[in-house]
């Protein structure tokens, strides 16, 4: 009996081509997050991600 280590890819993978053959086949990245967001039950702001307060 043989089993697959990984499940088969979803059917929509056929919608995408090799990037070098058709760069427009890849979806656009999502827009940047603005304002606040929740991560693991804690509220964060986008400003908390900036490194402007580091001495480097």
Encode pLDDT of 11-46 as tens digits. Answer: 888 877 777 787 777 778 888 888 888 889 998 888
Both tokens assigned to 44? 């964060």
pLDDT at 20: 78
pLDDT at 53: 52
Contact between 12 and 20 under an 8 Å Cβ cutoff? The reply is: no
C-alpha to C-alpha distances, 29 to 1, 4, 5, 8, 33, nearest whole angstrom: 41, 31, 30, 24, 12
Question: pTM above 0.75?
Answer: no
CA dist 55 and 51 (Å) reads: 9
């Amino acid at each position: 009996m043989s089993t697959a280590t990984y499940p088969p890819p979803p059917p929509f993978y056929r919608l995408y081509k090799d990037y070098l053959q058709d760069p427009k086949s890849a979806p656009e990245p999502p827009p940047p997050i603005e304002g606040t967001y929740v991560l693991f039950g804690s509220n964060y702001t986008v400003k908390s991600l900036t490194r402007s307060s580091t001495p480097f």
